[in-house]
Amino acid sequence: MSEQDIFIRQEDFDRLEQAIQDYQEGRIDHNSLVAERLMLGTYGQWQEGLCMVRSKLPGGRVRPRQLLGYAEGLENITCLENVHITTRQDIQYNNVPLEETPALLRLLAKHGITSREACGNTVRNVSGCPMAGFCPREHVDVMPHIDATARYLIRNPLTQSLPRKFKISYSGCEADCAQGAIQDLGIVATRKEGREGFKLLAGGGLGPHARQAVVLEEFIEEEALLPAIEAVLALHDKYSDRARRSRSRIKFLVERFGVDEFVRKFREEYARTSAAFDNARAPRGEWRQAREDALVCGHGAPRQVMPQHQPGLYAVPIDVPGGDLTAQQLRGLCALLEREGHSELRATQDQNFIVFNVPEAGIEPLADGLKELGLGLPRAGTNVVACPGTRTCQLGITSSRTVAKMLDGGSHDLTIRVNGCQNTCAHSEIADIGFFGKGKRHFGKLIPSYAIRLGGSGLAGGAFGFPGPDIPAARVPMAVKRIQEAFEEGRAEDESFFSWSRRQGAGYFEELLADLTQVREFELSMLQRDHGESAVFRVQSSGVGECAGAHTDPLDKLLLDIAYERNLRDAFAAKSKYKDAAESLANVFALAGQALLIAAGAEDTTPDESELAQALAEALPDDNEVAEGFAGLYEQFADWRTGLDELVYPGLVEKADAWLKSARLLCRTLQARRKEQERKKSAQEVA
């Protein structure tokens, strides 16, 4: 199967198109439509009928000519103004009419751009240090590992219906510029006693319950990487809380189990995934001697022209104001890069681009060309990132993007991150100065406000920002300016904001900003409107965003589990590990039996192994062939399991797969019948 076949399949777009039509004609419910949308990177906005469509760029890599595909999308879809670079190195559209999403996805696919699993409860875009392959400090170019991970996990049955989304990052050295501390799984290249491998961090995450990742393994060999990733995902899939979406990220497993038990359970899963893994599939990187005296890339991206490890060549960051690009800019940037002979371009975590292999003599012509496009090299003060906020997000409380345009990080280029709610998609917890939006009452009136976080860093040795005071939104620019001035005046020579702010402590900032936090009654009329808004502020968040994914039918999840166990079964058998293959085949039978019982509406869907055949016979009186087929097949399996005869195994598996095909078809038939009955009942209740 080619890479294109893995990431892009036309039947995906056909299914989405059919789901939209079925929804509009009342044949499926909203949740069923959401499930189809999210799998193809399409979120609903708070504006009725409009969507955000996100493409997926592993490691942020985008070919210059793919910029033309993004431009075509803007030119061919109704009312689109620009694309937007995200903090996970993706590129997305906003305000796409629902009925036009299949056409946009097909257009992007023609340019080799996928959106598969860019949203929903799947493995999101695998991010990485944007200097991978070019950084003098790196031990290894991690782009081959990023690509291999993305290929290994996409469409994998294990990852199609996780309890919640799962984020992975790769860094090529211990500086960890990809910020593994905030990831579900952070992977950091390292060396130990002359051996080459990776350090694993797990259980990190931002939002209202921010948690820094813990060390899962100090060192694993390169060939162990993919089965280790699979083991963490299996742990998440098996134990994370599916009932409470707000507590179903893997960071809550660390909290629930404790670090030692979490690590023990990971190793338990790893014993199984590594036993099944074919080492021929392991990615192999080109390891080199790291230059520890070289510049550190920085918070997700460099802010200056960086010398590469390739002699005489440079990496040049491109400042993209607000992370937004028009069709004209996309076409112009493609033409500029091709004219200057540059083929390596990546999106970065600070919502910018970076281009590589630029000779010193080519930096100025590139900068001049960027300036003509309204772009340029980063300048001090522009390191400001914002989430969409109330512009499009269902959870947005404040207009974060509007206020972000008013902020400047000053001559020291402080990192400023602005979020429209507490979910911190813009990474306010790891910024020099971070904000997240909220509503706060003064004299009974709701005022758009921001909570401040100070002194955060996602790099190795960093920490989450500590809380500062709450500030009315109208005063945020004044607060930033005052903090900058205090830093300039009070810092020691070469002292970072991270060190200075922690030396001052939270009390210092409470006092520094005290007058900005106070609201007097006569000031209410001046503070009740958010930036860019004429109406009096009110919290319009729907309270239910789609980041938590769509509800998964238990039957659908069981069918995915069956597919995953079949894959393991075949992997074990290929390595002549028939005892392990037998365990997976037993799991397949148990899961298939449970799926049939659920589809048939049985009261007891988890009978003992010895009672499963009888339970199926009772639950499926009109489908004796499937029930009786299970009984006979399971008896053959039990006999084979006592001796594990490898000559008998192929015939047994062939029969099992033929029966599974019939069982799956029956499950789908019964499921469709049940859903139609539910739809008719709902229609009658409405009438």
CATH number at residue 329: 3.90.480.10
644-668 mean pLDDT: 95
| Beta strands 466-472 and 445-454, pairing class | antiparallel
Among 527, 562, 580, the domain boundary falls at 527
Does residue 43 sit within a domain?
yes
Q: Is the domain of 487 the same as that of 594?
A: no
Q: Please state the length of the chain.
A: 687
The two tokens of residue 440 are 């706060």
What single DSSP character describes residue 277?
A: -
Residue 155 has pLDDT above 90, yes or no: yes
Predicted pLDDT at 85: 97
User: Are 266 and 147 members of one domain?
Assistant: yes
Q: Is the predicted pLDDT of residue 546 greater than 90, yes or no?
A: no
680 and 584 both lie in a single domain: yes
User: Three-class SS of residue 550?
Assistant: coil
* 598 and 668 fall within a common domain: yes
For residue 154, give its domain range.
138-281
Judge if 519 and 391 occupy the same domain.
yes
Of 372, 403, 421, the position where a domain reaches its end is: 372
Domain check: are 264 and 148 in the same one?
yes
Determine the Cα–Cα distance for residues 6 and 2; give it in Å rounded to an integer. Answer: 6
Instruction: Specify the number of domains making up the chain.
Output: 5
The region of weakest confidence among 1-15, 43-57, 268-282, 465-479 is 1-15
Q: How far apart are CA 229 and CA 227, in angstroms?
A: 5
Confidence class for position 4, pLDDT limits 50, 70, 90: low
Same domain for 521 and 390: yes
Residue 549's pLDDT band (boundaries 50, 70, 90)?
low
| Chosen domain end from 322, 349, 372 | 372
pLDDT at 420: 92
CA 535 to CA 481: how far, in whole Å? 27
Please report whether residue 359 resides in a domain.
Answer: yes
Q: Residue 1: what pLDDT?
A: 42
> Are 145 and 268 part of one and the same domain?
yes
- For residue 168, pLDDT over 50 is answered with yes
Both 515 and 419 in a single domain? yes
SS3 364: helix
Instruction: Identify the H or E element spanning 578.
Output: helix 578-600
Q: What are phi and psi of 17, to 5 degrees?
A: -60, -40
Calpha distance 84→320 (Å, rounded): 9
The pLDDT > 90 percentage for the chain reads 84
270-279, 349-358, 494-503, 547-556, range with the lowest pLDDT: 547-556
Q: In what order do the strands lie in the sheet with 384-386?
A: 384-386, 416-419, 433-442, 445-454, 466-472
- Interval 269-295 mean pLDDT: 93
Alpha-carbon distance of 261 to 228, in angstroms, equals: 16
Structure tokens that stand for 220 in this block: 């694993």
Say if residue 174 is in the same domain as residue 68. Answer: no
Asked if residue 513 is part of any domain, the answer here is: yes
pLDDT of residue 46: 86
DSSP string, 510-539: HHHTHHHH---GGGHHHHSS-TT--SPP--
Read off the pLDDT of residues 190-233 as tens digits, 9 standing for 90 and up: 999 999 999 999 999 998 899 999 999 999 999 999 999 999 99
Three-state DSSP class for residue 666: helix
CATH code (residue 274): 3.30.413.10
Work out the percent of the chain whose per-residue pLDDT is above 70: 98
Do 63 and 99 lie in one domain? The reply is yes
Q: Is residue 190 part of a domain?
A: yes
**Residue the block writes with tokens 């996970």:** 88
Clarify whether residues 82 and 161 are in a common domain. Answer: no
Judge contact between 469 and 510, C-beta under 8 A: yes
**CA–CA separation, 111 and 95 (whole Å):** 21
Q: Is residue 346 part of a domain?
A: yes
Residue 541, domain member (yes or no): no
CA distance 599 to 605: 10
Query: Is residue 294, in this structure, part of any structural domain at all?
Result: no
